[in-house]
Chains A and B, each alone.
Chain A
Amino acid sequence: MNMRNEPEHYVNPDAFNPSHAETLTPEQERYYQASQWTIMWWKFRRHRVAVWSGVILILFYLCVPFAEVIAPYSPNQRSNDHLYAPPQTLRLFHEGSFVGPFVYGLKADIDLETVRWVYTEDRQDVQPLRFFCFGPQYRFWGLFDASFHLVCPAKDGTLYLLGTDRLGRDVFSGLVYGARLSLTVGLIGVTISIVLGLFFGGLAGFFGGLIDSAIQRVIEILRSLPELPLWMALSAALPVTWSPVWIYLGITVILGLLDWPGLARAVRSKLLALREEEYAKAALLMGAKPSRVIRKHLLPGFTSHIIASASLSIPAMILGETALSYLNLGLRRPAVSWGVLLNEAQDISVVVIYPWLMAPVVPIIIVVLAFNFLGDGLRDAADPYK
């Protein structure tokens, strides 16, 4: 092995640019002047699944204000001629020729052996759908009478897209109306839970010490209670004489009351972490009062996290309401929610014969998944400076 001689002294012929790092492209300039929320939106936008979940949720939530307009029937309207009618298939072509969206009429025969109605499609009975039509009357938002519908069955025809139940009530219309309660239960419940969570979490995180310990122990006790039996006990305690609206509010309060510990913990831990941030200390050393530090430095830091955690706890509430109503402990007819609709599907033998009664499960799954994806996306975007 021969030792190498002195290495050559290489000098780059190009001059160096001292301000290399400080020159910005217009794109960077735009990025650097964007506020927290703008950057979060940019980051969130890159999370495709979350964005699509958001779109789907918006579509679902359109059912809340416009249920009457979207649904062809009212949810409690019975049709004694069509008990347990199967879903009617939407078609476009009749005997090879295009007629637009229509359904074939249903012909009902009684099967004397099983004592059941047997429905067959009447291939001659073409019932074209009517759009932007006037159908059954309703009181829109409790303000005025209206009868406008997005879609109606043909005159003297039927439109059971998802079949009917034991009393001949349209399942699809039930789903649309049910969204109104099922989807808002989560929002109202989460609002209650956020208020409680912020209050108790804030107390624990900001003051610490004994208050913190006390709140932590209460949270631990609440979290160790078995959830379902507790819900059941609490909702069983709601007076039977209450109107559906009161029952509904009662249920949301119960769900909110039991959900806040999770949020309180999130608030507390975030507050503890942010309180230790140097910029919060810097503000204190500048002479800022604690209220200013909380308002200007701590709150903006964790609002986004709270929104993300909240959107992740909405599905639990929707599922909670569904479970309670399914067990006949929550809402009851004439109130309609997805859980109430599923109540019809309690009997396994009924489900085997009339599987369309399980239809409410589909929107529940979609909404719960969408909320989870949306929450994931929000959570990833919540801290744009990581």
Chain B
Amino acid sequence: MDVLTIDGLSVDFLTGEGRIRAVDDVSFSVPRNRTVALVGESGSGKTVISQTIMGLLPEKAHITGGRVLFRENDTAAAVDIAALDRKGAAMRAIRGNRIAIIFQEPMTSLSPLHTIGDQIGEAAELHRGVSAQEARELTREMLRLVRFPDPARALDSYAFELSGGLRQRAMIAMAMICHPALLIADEPTTALDVTIQAEILKLIKDVQAELQMSTLLITHDFGVVANMADEVVVIYHGRIMERGSAASLFADPRHDYLKALLNAVPRFGMDEGERLVPIRPIEPHAEGFLKKGRSERACAVGQPLMSMTDVTKRFTTRKGGFLGGGTRTVLALDNVNLTVKRGECLGLVGESGSGKTTAAKAILRAIEINEGAIRYDCGEGPVDVASMQGPDLLEYRRRVQLIFQDPFSSLNPRMTVNELLMEPLVIHKVGTPEERAERVRELMRLVGLDPRFLRRYPHSFSGGQRQRIGIARALALNPEFILCDEPTSALDVSVQAQILNLLRDLKKELGLTYLFVSHNLAVVDYIAERLAVMCRGRVVEVGSTRDVIGNPLHPYTRALLASVPEPDLNAPLDFAALEAGRASEPDLWPEPYRIVDGVRPVLVEMEKGHFVCAPGLVGNGTPLSMEAAQ
């Protein structure tokens, strides 16, 4: 029996630019007690479908055709949600009661003013007509079901007291409290770290099995799809491209779009020369000033270009207390030692709060460090970055550039692309106006954009195009070292492949050096030759990408790798092996990796060129043998 049947659904949006068809003749169904994944890129209409099912479409959206039939169980009559008044009582009786939803952002979908218990219990009071006391009891039960560490205490805590993972658990509890027949999970784990994502996925699976519920999982991540879905619906620009069981779609993708999408996802263990195939490939052509190469002095390829020695950074936050209160210190970087060699790409991997972005900022001298030194070699030996002044600093800023994570906020919306790309040239007083104009056109061609776009403003571009403008801006001064701060995390998978290939090609064409910061191990595996893993401000493992991914030695790296869902039905996540968030607590790591406050995170060379943070091994001054570490 199908709980939900969507039949020929079309949704139009009336906007200032005219009528836009967001969903075009979409049909699929969600069978009872199964998970259907709705996969698509941003703008494909998948969220509009979820809004239609929940009766949450915005005013300007109109259902122009089709039915959305919801049938709770065998005995109940089917209800056509598309025909119901979105604000009516019938819709309210279904929404949050029979159909529940989990949103993407656990940070913003809980009210900061009410306790978790009140918010979860509200649905039960509204729909099941229970008293406040019973609702509290039910809520406690639900929190236990979603495995809150201490359900009784969580009832009276506020959203800001919980971590992202716990908030998402609370959201799931809220969705589940009325035992809905259908759960819509709209990108439930996109905003979460990979280890927490794995736990949430496991939780959704467990809860689904326990409550006999159907799930419509909306996602763009094929790794999540492969691990969760029984059936898959692939949607592109409001139209279904391919639909079928997960097994048949992964084994035998037939539509060009699905094939292209699957080819664009980076996987572990890709061959050295293997390239991702983006949907819209671009060919970078270096010419003119970029091809002429750099005349200035630089250190030799393979020599350390940038090195961090015992870099420590503490952030002091004021503790919010009534009448003053004390201060709290967070150790963002703890004795970090990293070296980037000229011509290589070093991947820096970690979850949120691991200090990877802080490290990048410190290199850029955007923040000051408390201890240690960052040295950079401009061809005349390593120089302490902190000591640079005036022209030296300007020269450093020219040589070292940053590609931002968010291509939307890092480009001034009030400047045309031409002005944006001119800016670095103007700041550094490069060339005559004619030369600058020529350079800007070259940069546009280099990143595969039409020079006619120069007169446009950034808001007219898609995320991938904007990121290419950001890359062009970073290259405007012909730098040698580029820090990439999660340059693809805000982009769709197909665009990600395009940007990754572009970065790879540029590195080869222009002889660049990268520090590539990312939380996505597969992406780093694709682009980086060496890899550094960070956790809680410490570097825990450094080595060649092949070594670290193929033979992870540190427990944190292992947990991280084990949590990455792969887009492959034959490599499911080992849910049983998850450690419930313990992997990222340094004081819970086993010896010799355990780090408590005050212990210096020392890197020990366990294999050739493969370093692991294991302070326990140097406790008595003599490192133990490899076997002991294993």
Asked if A12 and B456 make an inter-chain contact with CB atoms under 8 angstroms apart, the answer reads no
Interchain nearest-CB distance for A20 vs B (Å): 5
Asked if A22 and B459 make an inter-chain contact with CB atoms under 8 angstroms apart, the answer reads no
Query: For this complex, into which size category does the number of interface residues on chain A fall?
Result: 35 or more
Task: Tell me if A7 counts as interface (CB < 8 A to partner B).
Answer: yes
Max chain B C-beta neighbours (<10 A), residue from A14, A19, A21: A21
Cβ < 8 Å to A, chain B residues 412-434: 412-416, 423-424, 427-428
Known: A12-B255, A28-B17, A282-B402. A21 touches B245 (CB 8 A): no
Binds B, one of A81-89, A286-294, A326-334: A286-294
Asked if B240 and A10 make an inter-chain contact with CB atoms under 8 angstroms apart, the answer reads yes
Task: Tell me if B394 counts as interface (CB < 8 A to partner A).
Answer: yes
Task: Tell me if A36 counts as interface (CB < 8 A to partner B).
Answer: yes
Q: What A residues does B92 contact at CB under 8 A? A: none
Asked if B31 and A4 make an inter-chain contact with CB atoms under 8 angstroms apart, the answer reads yes
Task: Tell me if A218 counts as interface (CB < 8 A to partner B).
Answer: no
The CA of A9 and the CA of B252, in the complex, are separated in Å by 10
Known: A1-B74, A277-B409, A287-B428. A9 touches B459 (CB 8 A): no
Known: A11-B254, A286-B423. A385 touches B459 (CB 8 A): yes
Asked if B242 and A22 make an inter-chain contact with CB atoms under 8 angstroms apart, the answer reads no
Task: Tell me if A359 counts as interface (CB < 8 A to partner B).
Answer: no
Binds A, one of B52-60, B231-239, B287-295: B231-239
Known: A278-B404, A278-B406. A21 touches B462 (CB 8 A): yes
Asked if A16 and B423 make an inter-chain contact with CB atoms under 8 angstroms apart, the answer reads no
Asked if A18 and B280 make an inter-chain contact with CB atoms under 8 angstroms apart, the answer reads yes
Asked if B409 and A279 make an inter-chain contact with CB atoms under 8 angstroms apart, the answer reads yes
Asked if B397 and A285 make an inter-chain contact with CB atoms under 8 angstroms apart, the answer reads yes
Asked if A285 and B364 make an inter-chain contact with CB atoms under 8 angstroms apart, the answer reads yes
A290-332 CB mask vs B (1 if < 8 Å, else 0) is 0010001100110000000000000000000000000000000
Task: Tell me if A34 counts as interface (CB < 8 A to partner B).
Answer: yes
The CA of A32 and the CA of B239, in the complex, are separated in Å by 27
Q: What A residues does B323 contact at CB under 8 A? A: none
Known: A36-B414, A279-B411, A286-B397. A9 touches B255 (CB 8 A): no
Asked if B245 and A9 make an inter-chain contact with CB atoms under 8 angstroms apart, the answer reads yes
Q: What A residues does B78 contact at CB under 8 A? A: none
Asked if B427 and A287 make an inter-chain contact with CB atoms under 8 angstroms apart, the answer reads yes
The CA of A4 and the CA of B36, in the complex, are separated in Å by 14
Cβ < 8 Å to B, chain A residues 2-30: 4, 6-12, 14-16, 18-22, 24-25, 27-28
Interchain nearest-CB distance for A351 vs B (Å): 48
The CA of A6 and the CA of B242, in the complex, are separated in Å by 15
Q: What B residues does A19 contact at CB under 8 A? A: 280
Q: What B residues does A282 contact at CB under 8 A? A: 402, 404, 410, 473
Q: Which of A12, A20, A278, A300 contacts B409 (CB 8 A)?
A: A278
Cβ < 8 Å to A, chain B residues 1-50: 1-2, 17, 31-32, 43
Asked if A18 and B279 make an inter-chain contact with CB atoms under 8 angstroms apart, the answer reads yes
The CA of A325 and the CA of B394, in the complex, are separated in Å by 59
Q: What A residues does B511 contact at CB under 8 A? A: none
Cβ < 8 Å to A, chain B residues 345-363: none
The CA of A385 and the CA of B414, in the complex, are separated in Å by 9
Q: Which of A12, A278, A286 contacts B239 (CB 8 A)?
A: A12
Q: Which of B397, B402, B427, B477 contacts A292 (CB 8 A)?
A: B427
Q: What A residues does B398 contact at CB under 8 A? A: 287
Interchain nearest-CB distance for B129 vs A (Å): 28
Task: Tell me if A31 counts as interface (CB < 8 A to partner B).
Answer: yes
Asked if A7 and B243 make an inter-chain contact with CB atoms under 8 angstroms apart, the answer reads yes
Task: Tell me if B248 counts as interface (CB < 8 A to partner A).
Answer: yes
Task: Tell me if B366 counts as interface (CB < 8 A to partner A).
Answer: yes
A109-130 CB mask vs B (1 if < 8 Å, else 0) is 0000000000000000000000
Asked if B255 and A11 make an inter-chain contact with CB atoms under 8 angstroms apart, the answer reads yes
The CA of A21 and the CA of B423, in the complex, are separated in Å by 28
Task: Tell me if B145 counts as interface (CB < 8 A to partner A).
Answer: no
Interchain nearest-CB distance for B289 vs A (Å): 17
Interchain nearest-CB distance for B460 vs A (Å): 3
The CA of A11 and the CA of B351, in the complex, are separated in Å by 38
Task: Tell me if B393 counts as interface (CB < 8 A to partner A).
Answer: yes
The CA of A287 and the CA of B415, in the complex, are separated in Å by 18
Task: Tell me if B257 counts as interface (CB < 8 A to partner A).
Answer: yes
Query: For this complex, into which size category does the number of interface residues on chain B fall?
Result: 35 or more
Residue of B nearest to A289 (CB): B427
The CA of A304 and the CA of B456, in the complex, are separated in Å by 21
Interchain nearest-CB distance for B219 vs A (Å): 19
Cβ < 8 Å to A, chain B residues 233-277: 236-237, 239-245, 248-249, 252, 254-257, 260
Task: Tell me if B457 counts as interface (CB < 8 A to partner A).
Answer: yes
The CA of A84 and the CA of B74, in the complex, are separated in Å by 87
Asked if B74 and A279 make an inter-chain contact with CB atoms under 8 angstroms apart, the answer reads no
Asked if B242 and A287 make an inter-chain contact with CB atoms under 8 angstroms apart, the answer reads no
Asked if B248 and A9 make an inter-chain contact with CB atoms under 8 angstroms apart, the answer reads yes
Q: Which of B242, B256, B394, B409 contacts A15 (CB 8 A)?
A: B256
Residue of B nearest to A36 (CB): B414
Interchain nearest-CB distance for B102 vs A (Å): 24
Asked if A32 and B255 make an inter-chain contact with CB atoms under 8 angstroms apart, the answer reads no
Asked if A12 and B240 make an inter-chain contact with CB atoms under 8 angstroms apart, the answer reads yes
Q: What A residues does B256 contact at CB under 8 A? A: 15-16
Q: What A residues does B239 contact at CB under 8 A? A: 12, 14
Interchain nearest-CB distance for A4 vs B (Å): 5
Residue of B nearest to A304 (CB): B414
Q: Which of B1, B17, B245 contacts A27 (CB 8 A)?
A: B17
Asked if B236 and A16 make an inter-chain contact with CB atoms under 8 angstroms apart, the answer reads yes
Asked if B460 and A385 make an inter-chain contact with CB atoms under 8 angstroms apart, the answer reads no
Asked if B248 and A6 make an inter-chain contact with CB atoms under 8 angstroms apart, the answer reads yes
Asked if A31 and B393 make an inter-chain contact with CB atoms under 8 angstroms apart, the answer reads no
Task: Tell me if B114 counts as interface (CB < 8 A to partner A).
Answer: no
Interchain nearest-CB distance for A32 vs B (Å): 3
The CA of A24 and the CA of B456, in the complex, are separated in Å by 12
Q: Which of A1, A6, A278, A279 contacts B32 (CB 8 A)?
A: A1
Q: What B residues does A18 contact at CB under 8 A? A: 260, 279-280
Interchain nearest-CB distance for A34 vs B (Å): 7
Task: Tell me if A151 counts as interface (CB < 8 A to partner B).
Answer: no
Q: What A residues does B328 contact at CB under 8 A? A: none
Q: What A residues does B477 contact at CB under 8 A? A: 286
Q: Which of A4, A286, A300 contacts B424 (CB 8 A)?
A: A286
Cβ < 8 Å to A, chain B residues 424-450: 424, 427-428
Q: What B residues does A278 contact at CB under 8 A? A: 404, 406, 409-410
The CA of A8 and the CA of B29, in the complex, are separated in Å by 12
Q: Which of B231, B242, B460 contacts A32 (CB 8 A)?
A: B460
Task: Tell me if B318 counts as interface (CB < 8 A to partner A).
Answer: no
The CA of A34 and the CA of B414, in the complex, are separated in Å by 10
Q: What A residues does B242 contact at CB under 8 A? A: 9-12
Interchain nearest-CB distance for B100 vs A (Å): 22
Q: What B residues does A25 contact at CB under 8 A? A: 17
Q: What B residues does A297 contact at CB under 8 A? A: 412
Q: What A residues does B243 contact at CB under 8 A? A: 7, 9-10
Asked if A12 and B397 make an inter-chain contact with CB atoms under 8 angstroms apart, the answer reads no
Q: What A residues does B393 contact at CB under 8 A? A: 287
Q: What B residues does A285 contact at CB under 8 A? A: 364, 366, 397, 401-402
The CA of A6 and the CA of B416, in the complex, are separated in Å by 53
Known: A16-B236, A16-B255, A16-B256. A22 touches B462 (CB 8 A): yes
Task: Tell me if A349 counts as interface (CB < 8 A to partner B).
Answer: no
Further 4 A-B residue pairs, CB within 8 A, beyond A4-B31, A279-B410, A301-B414: A1-B32, A9-B242, A9-B248, A21-B237
A-B contact pairs, 28 of them (CB 8 A): A9-B244, A11-B255, A12-B239, A12-B241, A12-B255, A14-B239, A16-B237, A16-B241, A20-B237, A28-B17, A28-B460, A31-B17, A31-B460, A32-B456, A33-B455, A34-B457, A278-B404, A278-B410, A279-B409, A279-B411, A283-B427, A285-B397, A286-B428, A287-B394, A287-B424, A287-B427, A292-B427, A301-B414
- A residues near B (Cβ < 8 Å) are 1, 4, 6-12, 14-16, 18-22, 24-25, 27-28, 31-36, 277-279, 281-288, 292, 296-297, 300-301, 385
Ranked nearest first, the 6 interchain pairs of A and B with the lowest CB-CB distance are: A32-B460, A9-B244, A287-B397, A279-B412, A278-B410, A385-B413
